[in-house]
Structure 1
């Protein structure tokens, strides 16, 4: 995924499925300058990771 699409998903009001290495995640923040995204993994709000947006997959 590219930074532009990650940002679109982050700002969208509907639920768009995103996965990190096959596991569902929620995008919590997008750092456009560095191409990074903070994501919540699974259902636990405290389980977050900051990853390169290229590792994220839509669908």
Structure 2
């Protein structure tokens, strides 16, 4: 089992690379979800402003 984790002397490099890849695979969907929410909120704000301007022009 020790040989598996040591991986011929390259274990530290391999396992750190695997850890970074796993971390990025977790962070990417979280980042995309945050950006999506921010874009939707911006679209809603823009829509409300346009509706207010339209209503003000009618009055």
Which protein has the bigger helix share?
2
Which protein has the bigger strand share?
1
- Confirm or deny a common fold (TM above 0.5): no
Q: TM-score range by the shorter chain?
A: under 0.3
TM-score between the two structures when normalised by the length of structure 1: 0.17
- Which of the pair has more CA radius of gyration? 2
Higher RCO (CA 8 Å, separation ≥ 6 residues): 1
TM-score between the two structures when normalised by the length of structure 2: 0.17
